[in-house]
Structure 1
Amino acid sequence: MLRSLLSRLKPETAPSAPNGLPRPEAPICVIGDLHGRADLLGKMFERIGQEPQGAKARIITLGDMIDRGPNSARVLATLHAAQLANPSRMICLMGNHERMMLDFLLSPDARTAGWLRVGGLQTLQSYGIAPPDPRETDPEVLDALRMDLARALGPDLLAWLDARPAMWREGRFAATHAGADPYHPMERQSRDALLWGHPRFGQMTRRDGVWIAFGHWVVDQPVADQGRIAVDTGAYETGLLSAAWLDKGGLRFLQVEG
């Protein structure tokens, strides 16, 4: 439903809202779902560097760093290093795919192994781990797979992944993976709503004037409307990675292809 709603909107600078679009002093750049496209991440970093204020921008990734695309391992290594090197400037949020992988690592069973069928196999391959049958449910096989993946990730990266926040907020601007419940203030959002979305997110405009940049829901082109800024253009499949650039001058979109 949300995809249908937003994909029909004309991609343009965000229209006026009851409380207006936030205009931060320092620029904010919000990058959509990466899904293992390390090549596009590198291109987006280069594109940000071309901006006059690129070196001062706070960069936010919206989660779903892993799965589906070919190089989840490199995406994680790149973002992990970048965030540790500059934690105040680089913000990496958690998406539902990171949550699914962590749940599998905590308790590998028939339920959590569903992660394998929605992109987990590609993440395993990026770490050199032979993927199992995606319908595998044997406890011993799944536990061995869990141990192989945990070793490949290593304790530092695992701890970093587990610590990823579900939301970043500054004033009337927020970034989450999948939107939020419009009935509740941002400080009272459930983690499920932030990671998996909420059915009312695309139907109701928030009354508090908060604009939310989000991924998860794929749109043909990035678009802003009624307090929502959609930037997931399905990079792993389309080869188009989008980002929202917000500064004192307003909102515009950056894109790279490959």
Structure 2
Amino acid sequence: MFWRRKKKELCYPTLAPGRVVYAIGDIHGRVDLLDRLQASIDLVEDGRDETVTEVYLGDYVDRGRDSSAVVDRLIARRDGNHDVVLLRGNHENMFQAFLGDKLPIREWQKYGGMETVMSYGVDPQSLPADDPAAWVAAIRALMPQSHLAFLRDLVDSWSIPGYFFAHAGIRPGLPLERQSADDLLWIRDGFLGDPRDHGAVVVHGHTPSPQPEFFPNRINLDTGAYLTSCLSCLRIDENGPALLDY
């Protein structure tokens, strides 16, 4: 079920035998793709004696139509018999800003926020465009407390020896432990074209690409799922990284 990268010039760190990490790219409301991916992971891992962690790289909401359902699935996955790391993406950051009345609905709308609003059962036509408090109140009235806690508990980065996971990337030249939240969630310029060794392979999303991108110092897993119906997943084990073909 795995498709391993065959480029001989790329050599990535390996994990200890029996240790497995799955990294999942930007979901953006495509609960159908998430359901299929999680079922495939369960099928692969069924009966194996491995320590498995699933790392979700952020951007669960906006653009696609089922953001609320995606959050439901991720909460269930985390609370079930799975070791799950949930990273914050810039879209979750905007969602939190909106709920805190710090981001106007018109600004969030540019990034696909209206689809998130509707996924919670809010009818945009019923709300006054010039009353931001009404929008916040409407979605908070329909949003489960568990979803608010979900947003609050997201983390900005996670790492294992050889790999560093963040939604957007890192600021080259700064130690990984000193990265700012703003860069971890938003960076593109200054990171994507930088060829330096960052001290670990940075696994990230945020920047859509027709297919996963493999570079000596980073791996990009954002394949624009909400448009392409391609949700990419990387499996890292004792043989290094491999794309999960499901």
**Correspondence 1:80-119 to 2 at 5 A:** 80-86=75-81, 89-108=83-102, 110=104, 113-119=106-112
One of 3, 6, 12 as aligned partner of 1:21: 12
**Correspondence 1:13-52 to 2 at 5 A:** 13=6, 21-25=12-16, 26-52=19-45
Q: How many residues align?
A: 239
The Cα of 1:63 is off from its aligned counterpart by: 0.5
The Cα of 1:255 is off from its aligned counterpart by: 4.2
Q: TM (normalized to structure 2)?
A: 0.88
Whether the aligned pair in 1 keeps the contact of 2:20 and 2:50 (CA below 8 Å) is no
- Stretch deviating more after TM superposition (163-172 or 20-29): 20-29
Matched, 1:122 2:112: no
The residue aligned with 2:57 is: 62
Q: TM (normalized to structure 1)?
A: 0.84
Q: State the distance in 1 between where 2:49 and 2:191 align.
A: 31
**Correspondence 1:68-217 to 2 at 5 A:** 68-86=63-81, 89-108=83-102, 110=104, 113-132=106-125, 136=129, 138=130, 141-217=131-207
Q: 1:129 to 1:255 in 2, by over 3 A?
A: farther
Cα RMSD after superposing both structures: 2.4
- Stretch deviating more after TM superposition (28-37 or 170-179): 170-179
Structure 1: state its 5+ residue gaps.
Answer: 1-10
Whether the aligned pair in 2 keeps the contact of 1:64 and 1:94 (CA below 8 Å) is yes
Q: State the distance in 2 between where 1:15 and 1:175 align.
A: 23
The Cα of 1:150 is off from its aligned counterpart by: 1.6
The Cα of 1:57 is off from its aligned counterpart by: 2.1
Q: Which amino acid aligns with 1:66?
A: V
- Kindly provide the CA deviation profile for residues 104-124 of structure 1, in whole angstroms up to 9, marking residues without a partner as x: 1112554x6411221111111
The residue aligned with 1:6 is: none
- Kindly provide the CA deviation profile for residues 37-79 of structure 1, in whole angstroms up to 9, marking residues without a partner as x: 0000011011212324597421111100001111111100110
The residue aligned with 1:7 is: none
SS in structure 1 opposite 2:135? helix
Matched, 1:247 2:240: no
SS in structure 2 opposite 1:47? helix
Q: State the distance in 2 between where 1:208 and 1:146 align.
A: 40
Structure 2: state its 5+ residue gaps.
Answer: none
4+ residue runs of structure 1 moved beyond 6 angstroms? none
Q: State the distance in 2 between where 1:176 and 1:215 align.
A: 8
- Stretch deviating more after TM superposition (126-135 or 145-154): 126-135
- Stretch deviating more after TM superposition (245-254 or 48-57): 48-57
Q: State the distance in 2 between where 1:39 and 1:225 align.
A: 29
- Kindly provide the CA deviation profile for residues 111-153 of structure 1, in whole angstroms up to 9, marking residues without a partner as x: x6411221111111111101259993x2xx2211101212222
Matched, 1:220 2:215: no
Q: State the distance in 1 between where 2:63 and 2:140 align.
A: 19
The Cα of 1:224 is off from its aligned counterpart by: 1.4
The Cα of 1:242 is off from its aligned counterpart by: 0.6
Q: State the distance in 1 between where 2:228 and 2:103 align.
A: 32
Whether the aligned pair in 1 keeps the contact of 2:166 and 2:202 (CA below 8 Å) is yes
